[in-house]
């Protein structure tokens, strides 16, 4: 047995407990459950990462190490998968997310103009988060609502037939509601 210094005094942890996290963070229990539903199988790596991102919001290094050990996969492979797929985030997302569809229908209807207007407004490029952590700009491949192009998804609500001015106004509204967005 080893002992760990955590909040509330030392806690005894069995030496073979490879799937509990020393931080005592309860969210790891949820992750353990997800790992167990897949019988800690290495082929479930992507499923487990989806679960982890759902629980923690993004995949930080510590979390990737934890997953690699639990599934008995080399860290290089876990990191490789995390960086290969667009859906996985290695950095925390902003408080608000502006997902702009950059699919063909939206492109034909002027999504590139909206993109430039928003990047100018926020002072960061798509794929990044404003330095104050207020807004993440995400470029989606296609959200599949081509009939409503150009489309953006703002914090889970779909904005159809968006214009540049409207898009900037939406960011301004977030700005007014909180403490500041971007530059």
Partner 1 sequence: MTVEELHELADRERERQAGVRHRVLYCSAAGCVSCGSHATRDAFKAAFTRRGLTESEVVGTGCMGLCGQGPLVKIHDDGVLYERVDAGLAHRIVDEHLVEGRPVAEHQLDAASPFFASQVKIVLENCGRIDATRIEEYIAVGGYEALARAVAELKPQEVVEEVRKSGLRGRGGAGYPTGLKWDIARKAPAEQKYVICNADEGDPGAFMDRSVLEGDPHRVLEGMAIAGYAIGASQGYIYVRAEYPLAIERLKLAIRQAERHGVLGSRIFESGFHFRIDLRIGAGAFVCGEETALIRSIQGRRGRPQPRPPYPSERGLFGAPTVINNVETLANIAPILRHGSAWFAALGTPRSPGTKVFALAGKIRRTGLIEVPMGIPLRRIIFEIGGGTPEGTEFKAAQTGGPSGGCIPAEHLDLPVDYEALATVGSIMGSGGLIVMDSTSNMVDVARFFMEFSRDESCGKCAPCRVGTVHMHDLLRKIARGRATADDVALLEELCETVKETSLCGLGQSAPNPVLSTLRFFRAEYDALLGPVEVFTPSNPLARGRGPGGS
Tally the residues of the chain. 183
Segment contacting partner 1 by CB under 8 A, of 6-14, 22-30, 98-106, 164-172: 98-106
When the beta carbons of 13 and 44 are compared against partner 1, the nearer one is: 44
List the beta strands (DSSP E) in the chain.
2-6, 9-13, 96-101, 135-140, 152-154, 157-159
Beta carbons of 159 and 170 less than 8 angstroms apart: yes
**Which one of 1, 84, 177, 179 is in contact with partner 1 (CB under 8 A)?**
84
Contact between 147 and partner 1 by CB under 8 A: the answer reads yes
Interface residue with partner 1 among 137, 143, 162, 167 (CB under 8 A) is 143
DSSP conformational letter for 92: P
Contact 135, 182 (CB under 8 A): yes
Rg of the chain over all Cα atoms, to the nearest angstrom: 20
Q: Which of 21, 22, 30, 42 binds partner 1 (CB under 8 A)?
A: 42
Interface with partner 1 in residues 21-40 (CB under 8 A): none
Q: Does 76 interact with partner 1 (rule: CB under 8 A)? A: no
Residue 148 makes contact with partner 1 by CB under 8 A: yes
Cβ at position 45, least distance to partner 1 in Å: 3
Q: How many helices (H) and strands (E) does the chain have?
A: 7, 6
Coil vs helix vs strand at 173: helix
Residue ranges in contact with partner 1 by CB under 8 A: 41-47, 49-50, 73, 77, 80-81, 84-88, 102-105, 107-109, 140-149, 151, 158, 160
């Amino acid at each position: 047995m080893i002992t760990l210094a955590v909040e509330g005094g030392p806690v005894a942890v069995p030496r073979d407990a490879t799937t509990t996290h020393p931080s005592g963070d309860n969210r790891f229990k949820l992750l353990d459950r997800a790992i167990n539903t897949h019988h800690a199988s290495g082929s479930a790596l992507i499923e487990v990462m989806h679960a982890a991102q759902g629980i923690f919001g993004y995949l930080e290094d510590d979390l990737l190490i934890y997953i690699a050990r639990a599934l008995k996969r080399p860290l290089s492979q876990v990191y490789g998968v995390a960086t290969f797929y667009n859906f996985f985030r290695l950095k925390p997302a902003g408080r608000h997310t502006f997902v702009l569809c950059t699919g063909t229908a939206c492109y034909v209807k002027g999504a590139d103009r909206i993109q430039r207007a928003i990047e100018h407004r926020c002072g960061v490029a798509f794929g990044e988060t404003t330095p104050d952590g207020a807004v993440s700009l995400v470029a989606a491949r296609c959200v599949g609502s081509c009939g409503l192009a150009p489309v953006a998804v703002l914090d889970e609500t779909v904005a159809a037939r968006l214009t540049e001015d409207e898009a900037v106004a939406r960011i301004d509204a977030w700005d007014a509601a909180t403490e500041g967005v971007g530059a």
